[in-house]
């Protein structure tokens, strides 16, 4: 074999190996669902030289949708965010994500295509515009122990298929040192478990602020229409308000090396919250439920700076506007703080990450919420199948 042949064979083998690494790092996952729209996201693996899109329809996947960025269809990236619009309420759609490798790109117009890959076909059903009921599962503080989510559902005889959506109420990850933390301990396992068929909504906990890759969190989720991190949405009889409570210590704390600005960020949500509480959308809802990772009061002996800061900023207007319920996490101790003279609403707090018998007080828990226009019920169900607290509200 002459030298030229050897070089050609080497290059072909190298290209084959490189191309084989291109694929799906996650299955597609559903974000920000409304009666008329949904955002479908996924991440690819290997080279970023790909182009991606969604094929969908009510009977087959004959329609196409793309992610557009100011005149360009998205390509040469590993993260895709495709919004399907003009959907019909209460309608089942089938879809799949598709990527095609770009094997060559020279100048402005010369490009060559490689293999096309696609996911399995999944389905979702859009909510009704005037649904009378809502049911969801709420998780918090699993700290990268992603298997806890499935275990909590199984141990308590629950089902994702009986829920309208899942809410992640912070500290789903322990920190964000790299992309792999988000992919391996959140998006990949949860897209396989439920998120290709059932949307999830999410808010950061204080641990999603930690480590260098925390600045890329919003590349991988759709936290509200504008991806601001705090947002509101209606589902059935409930108006849900999502507040981002930030880190748990002062911005000046040595742990953050001068790189934190949560105090200003929390303050920036005050005027927005007042607008949401006075909105027509909120007035039409039977119940107003607030998700916030850090609670107004700690049910443990530790209460860091942010607990009081959240209480100072947000609680007075929630009392004045008669919010029905606040759901939090952070303390790792599941339970209910009942209304008193300081707050007019119950505060439900989810569990933690310890599963040993001696740490049963701080074990993981899933919160279930079910509501119609006359009644809302919340249960905290723990790792051992026990109920750690319930709230029932009637209109």
The 10s digit of each residue's pLDDT in 20-53 is 478 999 999 999 999 999 999 999 999 999 999 9
Is there a single domain that holds both residue 336 and residue 291? yes
Q: Are 205 and 170 in contact (CB under 8 A)?
A: yes
How confident is residue 1, by pLDDT bands cut at 50, 70 and 90? Answer: low
- CA angle, residues 306, 311, 313, in degrees to nearest 5: 90
* Nearest alpha carbon to residue 381 among 393, 372, 390: 390
In a domain? residue 351: yes
Of 1 and 311, more confident = 311
Is there a single domain that holds both residue 275 and residue 384? yes
Residue 108: its pLDDT value, please?
66
H helix intervals, the chain: 3-20, 147-155, 179-182, 188-190, 262-277, 280-284, 305-320
Cα 149 from Cα 168, distance rounded (Å): 10
Task: Check whether 10 has a pLDDT greater than 50.
Answer: no
- Against a cut of 0.85, is the pTM above it? yes
Is there a single domain that holds both residue 150 and residue 217? yes
371's enclosing H/E stretch is strand 365-371
Is there a single domain that holds both residue 282 and residue 168? yes
Cα 315 from Cα 343, distance rounded (Å): 7
227's enclosing H/E stretch is none
Cα 378 from Cα 346, distance rounded (Å): 11
106's enclosing H/E stretch is strand 92-106
Question: Looking at residue 96, which CATH number applies to its domain?
Answer: 2.60.40.10
Is there a single domain that holds both residue 304 and residue 359? yes
Residue 110: its pLDDT value, please?
80
Residue that terminates a domain, selected from 82, 102, 125: 125
Is there a single domain that holds both residue 196 and residue 312? yes
Q: Are 271 and 318 in contact (CB under 8 A)?
A: no
In a domain? residue 2: no
DSSP code at position 252:
T
Three-state secondary structure call for residue 25: coil
Cα 128 from Cα 390, distance rounded (Å): 27
pLDDT tens track for 219-271: 999 999 999 999 999 999 999 999 999 999 999 999 999 999 999 999 999 99
Residue that terminates a domain, selected from 106, 125, 144: 125
Is there a single domain that holds both residue 142 and residue 96? no
Residue 31: its pLDDT value, please?
98
Q: Which domain holds residue 245?
A: 134-394
Is there a single domain that holds both residue 213 and residue 314? yes
pLDDT tens track for 259-305: 999 999 999 999 999 999 999 999 999 999 999 999 999 988 777 89
Q: Tokens 């569990």 sit at which residue?
A: 351
DSSP code at position 373:
S
Question: Looking at residue 302, which CATH number applies to its domain?
Answer: 3.60.21.10
Residue 17: its pLDDT value, please?
41
In a domain? residue 4: no
CB contact set of 143 (below 8 Å; sequence gap of 6+): 171, 172, 173, 174, 207, 353
What mean pLDDT comes out for the span 164-173? 98
Task: Check whether 18 has a pLDDT greater than 80.
Answer: no
How confident is residue 105, by pLDDT bands cut at 50, 70 and 90? Answer: confident
Q: Are 191 and 29 in contact (CB under 8 A)?
A: yes
CB contact set of 297 (below 8 Å; sequence gap of 6+): 303, 307, 311, 337, 343, 347
Residue 302: its pLDDT value, please?
73
Query: What is the CB neighbour count within 10 angstroms for residue 271?
Result: 9
Q: SS3 helix, strand, coil % of the chain, rounded to 5?
A: 25, 30, 40
Determine if residue 234 is left, alpha or beta; phi over 0 gives left, psi from -120 to 50 gives alpha, anything else beta.
Answer: beta
In a domain? residue 361: yes
Burial code (b: 16+ CB inside 10 Å, e: under 16) for 63-98 equals eeebbeeeeeebbebbbbbbbbeebeeeeebbbbbb
Q: Are 379 and 350 in contact (CB under 8 A)?
A: no
Average pLDDT taken over every residue of the chain: 94
In a domain? residue 12: no
In a domain? residue 13: no
What mean pLDDT comes out for the span 359-364? 93
Is there a single domain that holds both residue 268 and residue 380? yes
Residue that terminates a domain, selected from 100, 125, 150: 125
Q: Are 351 and 332 in contact (CB under 8 A)?
A: yes
Residue 142: its pLDDT value, please?
97
In a domain? residue 14: no
pLDDT tens track for 150-160: 999 999 999 99
**Weakest mean pLDDT among 184-193, 249-258, 277-286, 354-363:** 354-363
In a domain? residue 86: yes
Q: How many domains does the chain have?
A: 2
What mean pLDDT comes out for the span 5-14? 42
């Amino acid at each position: 074999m002459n030298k030229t042949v050897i070089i050609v064979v080497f290059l072909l083998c190298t290209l084959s190996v490189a191309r084989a690494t291109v694929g799906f790092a996650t299955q597609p996952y559903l974000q920000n669902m409304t009666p008329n729209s949904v955002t479908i996201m996924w991440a690819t693996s290997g080279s970023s030289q790909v182009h991606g899109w969604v094929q969908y329809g009510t009977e087959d996947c004959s329609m196409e949708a793309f992610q557009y960025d100011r005149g360009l269809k998205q390509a040469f990236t590993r993260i895709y965010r495709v919004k399907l619009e003009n959907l019909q309420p209460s309608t089942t759609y089938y879809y799949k994500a598709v990527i095609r490798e770009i094997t060559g790109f020279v100048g402005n117009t010369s490009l060559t295509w490689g293999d096309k890959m696609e996911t399995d076909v999944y389905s979702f059903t859009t909510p009704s515009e005037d649904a009378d009921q809502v049911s969801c599962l709420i998780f918090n503080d699993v700290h990268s122990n992603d298997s806890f989510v499935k275990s909590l559902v199984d141990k308590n005889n629950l089902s994702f298929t009986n829920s309208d959506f899942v809410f992640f109420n912070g500290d789903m990850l322990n920190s964000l040192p790299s992309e792999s933390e988000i992919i391996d301990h959140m998006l990949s396992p949860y897209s396989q478990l439920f998120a290709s068929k059932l949307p999830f909504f999410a808010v950061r906990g204080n641990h999603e602020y930690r480590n260098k890759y925390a600045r890329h969190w919003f590349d991988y989720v759709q936290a509200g229409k504008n991806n601001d991190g705090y947002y509101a949405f209606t589902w059935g009889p409930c108006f849900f308000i999502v507040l981002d409570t930030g880190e748990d210590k002062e911005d000046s704390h040595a742990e953050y090396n001068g790189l934190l600005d949560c105090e200003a960020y929390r303050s920036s949500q005050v005027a927005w919250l007042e607008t949401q509480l006075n909105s027509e959308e909120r007035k039409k809802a039977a119940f107003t439920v607030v998700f916030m990772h850090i609670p107004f009061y700690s049910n443990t002996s530790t209460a860091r700076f942010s607990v009081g800061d959240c209480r100072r900023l947000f609680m007075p207007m929630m009392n004045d506007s008669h919010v029905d319920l606040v759901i939090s996490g952070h303390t790792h101790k599941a339970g209910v703080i009942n209304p008193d003279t300081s707050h007019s609403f119950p505060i439900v707090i989810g569990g933690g990450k310890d599963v040993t018998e001696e740490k049963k007080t701080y074990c993981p828990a899933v919160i279930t919420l079910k509501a119609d226009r006359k009644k809302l019920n919340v249960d905290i169900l723990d790792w051992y199948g026990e109920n750690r607290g319930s709230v029932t509200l009637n209109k």
